[in-house]
Amino acid sequence: MKKFVSNKHSKLQKNLPFSYFSTNLYLDFSAYVFDRNGEHLVVWQDILYPNEFPCIFMPKKKENWTRCSVALATKEDIETIEKENIEILVNKPVGNEFFYSTENFINPKGSFKNRVKQFVSNYEYLLIYNCDKKRIIEFYNFWKSQRKHENITFEESEAFFNFCLNNLDKYDIKQVYVEVKNKIVGLAWGSNFPGSNNWIGLHLKVNYQHKGLSRFLHHERAKIFEKYKEFSLCTEVYDKG
């Protein structure tokens, strides 16, 4: 088993479905590759059971459908397996990955729109699109101090945040920060999905005292990706990032 490296495994990435977890950035962070029955399987380490490495997505070859764990199986994948009369030993839903229209975030309606207006009306703010690393870390530590608890995926989320922070230029991560009274109160990052008209919404973190800021940052980040049609914000598996 070898570490996934996007420069070497670009063909594998192109054959994966559009997902938060199939972008080069996330695969370089978490994925591994090994050969089975003539197929290069892309896997990751299970958070709860670190000795297990399930496939991230369903393998292409039927020979690899048996004795195989799949982390992100779709309903269609499950139906395909059942049609082949392959026994599914464990079927445990852990969350859904949702895909959104960029246009709906650029021109929001209803409560989303109201929350954006709430922030704009109540605060004098400044938008910046690049920020000193030291300031980012200071804000992140403040954001972290607001949390009342840490869920089981927090450690991995924090590691991924630091991975992104250390590779902002390498992966051309787009950034937007909000300043209020010369202090960073929120950030949102995103990156385009290679070879598609889609993008990925990465980390979004805010000072919880500023009402409407989260929606405002969703809105402002989407404007950066106005030329792209759809995007993913990961899953709602355990808790928001």
Model confidence pLDDT, tens digit, residues 31-54: 999 999 999 999 999 888 889 999
pLDDT in tens, 194-240: 889 999 999 999 999 999 999 999 999 999 999 999 999 985 533 34
| DSSP SS3 for 196 | coil
Whole-number pLDDT of residue 239: 39
- pLDDT of 122-136, one tens digit each? 999 999 999 999 999
- Please give the mean pLDDT across all residues of the chain: 92
Rounded CA-CA distance 47/187 in Å is: 26
The whole-number pLDDT of residue 26 equals 97
Q: pLDDT at position 21, please?
A: 94
- Determine the Cα–Cα distance for residues 95 and 238; give it in Å rounded to an integer: 8
Q: Give the mean model confidence (pLDDT) for residues 2-7.
A: 94
Integer angstrom CA distances of residue 233 from 88, 102, 237: 29, 12, 11
Domain locations in the chain as residue ranges = 2-83, 99-235
Count of H helices and E strands in the chain? Answer: 8, 9
Topology of the domain comprising 99-235: Aminopeptidase (3.40.630)
